[in-house]
A and B are shown apart, each in its own frame.
Chain A
Amino acid sequence: MSSATAVGTPSSLGLPRWAATAGAAVVFAAAYLVFRDTATLPHSREAAAPFLAVTELREWIDDNRNDNPLFLYFLNYIRLFVGGLFDAFHTVLYALGWPGITGVMGALGWLAGGRWIAALAVGGVSAFGLLGLWESSVDTLALVAVAVLLSLAVGIPLGVWAGLSGRVRRALTPVLDVMQIMPTFAYLAPLALFFHIGAPAGAIATMIYAIPPAIRITALAVSGVSPTAVEASASLGATGRQTLFKVYLPLARSTMALAVNQTIMMALSMVVIANLISAPGLGGDIIRGLSRAQVGIMLPAGVAVVIMAVMLDRMTMALARRDAHATTSRLDLAGAGLLAVAGLALIPVLPRVWPENLAVNVVAQVNDAVRWAETNWYPVTTFIKDATTRVLLNPLESLLTSAPWWLVALAVLAAAWRVSGLRPALTALACLLAIALLGLWEHSMMTMSTVAVAVLATLAIGLLLGVAAARSPRFSAVQRPVLDAAQTMPAFVYLLPALALFGTTRFTAIFASVIFAVPPVVRLVEDGIRAVPATVVEAAASAGSTPRQLLWKVQLPMARRAILLAANQGIVMTLAMVVIGGLVGAGALGYDVVLGFSQRTDFGMGFVAGIATVLLGVMLDRITQGADRRSSPRKRKFT
């Protein structure tokens, strides 16, 4: 929290405001020293009634899943429908076998973006086989397909409606805002409760997670259609239906391809985590690697997820980038047709599953490499890990857990009020109090300290790289593609290098969340500094400012809003990652969620911990909202 305030208060604002902040800090410090270890809310499994109530609810639901009308006539049907859809995709994909899938994907790639995209698709699909992960990849593909299809089937109509009606948009926006700051983990427990575990529950979780961009971008696209075009069509006597299908949708389609793109990307990052509720696919290999501490098992699966993401991203982006009036040439059609036919024709000839002897097995080599790194870098990595943990993390954690709850609440209120205003401050306070009522105060404070340390590192690195990129076009040109690639990768993949280097500790989660959150922060900072008007920079330079002064006195203060936005995004992304870090030793809330799926008696605690992460997310978001016209997380990526 303190890091956020510091960032939000540029040095140019003068002494009095600094003094007020400093004064407040002194007051809080004094209050802490006087009241420490009083009114703390230690974690206790027994005391917290909400946990037990949820665990009992789960037992009840499990006992009545097949008698209660709500389940019998509604929820079970949804589960059956989604399960049927998944099985259908699964069956078709397996029937196509790898020649068929390769051919069809290649053809789709060709139609979407020409032969290079087709080559990418063919190469990508073959890579799944080469990595020895054919079946898991096909399972994941089927799961993504179902989730994306359902997301679009629900999201596009909702988006169109929101685009046409301001009232619907205003009603949906806050819901979507919260959905986008909800960590992936929070979706799992409620879905396991209502839809049991397995592929259908995984598909539904993925669908819900992936739906916000589908709604949001469609709404944006539809509301962006020029009113004159609508007017023209209306004056020609078109019905509402005709206007929608002949004017709105065609004009909005290139933006809507972006919606498809974003939905797929979101689905891919969720689909792996859905393995925690027994959804099949690559997530299984990654979690298996995690639970055996073998990076060798995880790495191929991680690479496969990245390849799938890049492949689907490039295909849909090619679709979005195409000129609206371009037609597909005969040659392209012929090429695509040829690929598809060749693939389909080869189905009976070639084996359906990628032959095992063509797969490259690197498990042993990767494990050896990791072991080598572990032994040889051990002094360095251990030093970094222990130093960070002892110097930053442990003191902060003990500060937050030993401070009275009311003091923390007051500090949150003051910080949020100062940075973002009264209303967000009250929301933040309400979230914090709700966490206390849920009985997860101590774990939330522990998670918050981990997040704070990670955010500190993220912002330091992000500012450094962002400023460097803004000042040197050459550096920026080198960095951009790296950032692009990093942002295509599903969150989960970042756990791998962290685990390989640091084993399972809280620091592992910090490391993973830093590399996860740095790219968007860098981008926002760079854009913010570049957006400072050239005339201002010119004026300062001609007034004799050194480059250093220029940066500190002009560019950074003027980019304040962008930096605040960067901090906000960094925090939301960091929280999401720290919670996933529960799988690699981050403890606290994330581990509670994991435990909830592993031990039946702790299901309630896991469920409530999921809610607490959402509240924590909303709270941190409100504290750092700052900039009056903020854009929501990830929005930057697609606007």
Chain B
Amino acid sequence: MKIRLLAGLLALGITAMGCGGATVDTSTSSAAPDAGASASGTTAGTVKIAINPWVGYEASANVVAYLLKNELGYEVELPEIKEQLAWEGFETGDVDVIIENWGHPDLKKQFIEEKKVAVEAGSTGNKGVIGWYIPKWMADEHPGITDWKNLNKYAELFETSESGDKGQLLFGDPSYVSNEAALINNLKLDYKIVTGGSEAALIKGAQQAQAQKKPLLFYFWDPHWLFSQTELVRVNLPPYTEGCDADPKKVACDYPEMDLDKIVSKRFADTGGKAYELIKNFTWTNEDQNAVADDMTNNGMTGEEAAKKWIEANPAKWQAWIPK
């Protein structure tokens, strides 16, 4: 009996294979051998926007997704894929759009120029800059702390049980753009990177640091809603000059201000029709993004609700994006 049951299970599996085989989803399994051969996106009308792990990105993605769904009638998938894996997703067909790309010249070279599986789709209008920050009270109490040359002098302040006898530099998600290891090494800073693992860990750390007057040095970025709620001061690393970050191991300068842009897969650019047009046209300000991100994080709204709220309040802005 048991064997028969097992056989039944197996048979079920085999029939499953038999009748399901014909309807294999092309975009997920087409990956390696014949990537790009299938033309998904035209008739199905599904757009896959990768979600990178920070709320500003999600704000942009949700607003675009809302418009794609409700104005143009597309289906939208929002798979959570981290920055660099999302670029690989252009090749496997798992990703159509990266809505907010932070630089990544190496990936642009590889996936746009060499493999030709992705294309640029213009600026998002957001200006992005990464940096090291401290709560404002520290800048007030400790003169010169915002100059990187004095960081070693104050290293003791930043010690925690995780960093041992060095100062702690709190970092975010492992997938974020990062020169931290090289900076600490090349500027000979007496600091240790402690990875909080998420944007949430950074925000929580910053809020506690300001509210409870606890010392904290952390990695953060603008645009971000946090700046309107918690006073933060940026630490001045050696200023950025063109090309000073060319060799990732020799970086000894601050991050540049980046013009954040959109990247789409070649296939989507060719066959995405109106959806592609909308994404190409999408551009807004840091304030716009912060408003939506703030609603998502602090006002208990889902991405969709926050996007809806912004869209209802700013018709003039988004109507300019809708393709004729």
Residues of A within 8 A of B (CB): 45-46, 63, 65-66, 71-72, 76-77, 79-80, 83-85, 87-92, 95, 108, 111-112, 145, 149, 196-200, 249-250, 253-254, 257, 260, 278, 284, 287-288, 290-294, 319, 322, 324, 326-328, 364, 385-386, 389-390, 394, 397-398, 503-506, 583-585, 587, 591, 594-595, 597-601
Contacts and interface: CB of A to CB of B under 8 A. Distances in A.
B243 interface: no
B248 A601 contact: yes
Given A198-B28, A385-B161, A591-B195, A503 B201 contact: yes
B29 A84 contact: yes
B277 to A, nearest CB: 29
Given A80-B32, A145-B13, A197-B85, A504 B20 contact: no
A278 B94 contact: yes
B38 to A, nearest CB: 13
Contacts of B19: 92
A84 B31 CA distance: 12
B195 A585 contact: yes
B143 interface: no
Nearest to B36: A66
Contacts of B199: 292
Interface string B78-104: 001111110011001010000000000
A88 B195 contact: no
B44 interface: no
Nearest to B93: A198
A88 B174 contact: no
Q: Max chain A CB contacts within 10 Å: which of B23, B24, B107, B161?
A: B161
Nearest to B51: A288
B291 interface: no
A626 B80 CA distance: 46
Interface residues of B, number: 57
Contacts of B23: 87, 91
Contacts of B89: 278
B129 interface: no
Interface in B196-212: 196-201, 204
Contacts of A196: 31-32, 88, 92
A390 B165 CA distance: 11
A313 B43 CA distance: 43
B300 interface: yes
Nearest to B53: A291
A200 B29 contact: yes
Contacts of B195: 504, 585, 587, 591
A583 B195 CA distance: 10
A249 B85 contact: no
10 contacts: A63-B115, A71-B32, A83-B31, A84-B24, A95-B20, A200-B31, A253-B2, A291-B53, A595-B174, A599-B174
B313 interface: no
B319 interface: no
Given A76-B33, A92-B20, 18 more contacts: A77-B33, A80-B32, A84-B17, A88-B21, A88-B24, A196-B88, A278-B85, A287-B80, A293-B200, A319-B5, A504-B197, A504-B198, A585-B162, A585-B195, A591-B195, A597-B85, A598-B84, A599-B175
Given A292-B53, A599-B84, A583 B197 contact: yes
Nearest to A374: B204
A250 B3 contact: yes
Contact of A288 (B6, B80, B88, B162): B80
Contacts of B2: 253-254, 257, 319, 322, 324
